[in-house]
Amino acid sequence: AIGSDLAAKQLNRTGIVITSVDGAPDIVGALKGQTQVQASASQDPYAMGKLAVETGLGIMNGTKPENPMILMPSQLITRDNVGSYAGWTR
């Protein structure tokens, strides 16, 4: 999203809706600033990694996950709610 916004500025393009997926720390500044970035679906790489390791260890020890598809919660971060976005955990 940051790169898309930069390209739009360099080409003098306006009225573009730019979104992203990850909720990275730099998206907070983009949503608070004068950019065309409108939203980002959050991810939490630390929690994702932790769950992946726990699941992998469980499988190695003979415990299958209850469901083969494990979904992680996500939040849509917008200009309206970016102030309450806690960011990635550690």
In a domain, 65, yes or no: yes
**28: CATH:** 3.40.50.2300
In a domain, 67, yes or no: yes
Share of the chain above pLDDT 70, in %: 100
In a domain, 74, yes or no: yes
In a domain, 22, yes or no: yes
In a domain, 87, yes or no: no
pTM of the model: 0.78
Hey, which residues does 19 pair with through a beta bridge?
39
Taking the C-alpha atoms of residue 74 and residue 20, their distance in angstroms, rounded to an integer, is: 13
In a domain, 89, yes or no: no
* pLDDT at 88 (0 to 100): 85
In a domain, 26, yes or no: yes
Give how many domains the chain has, as a whole number.
Answer: 1
* pLDDT at 89 (0 to 100): 79
In a domain, 88, yes or no: no
Question: What residue numbers bound the domain in which 31 lies?
Answer: 2-82
Q: Cα–Cα distances in Å, from 43 out to 52, 54, 80? A: 14, 18, 18
* pLDDT at 56 (0 to 100): 97
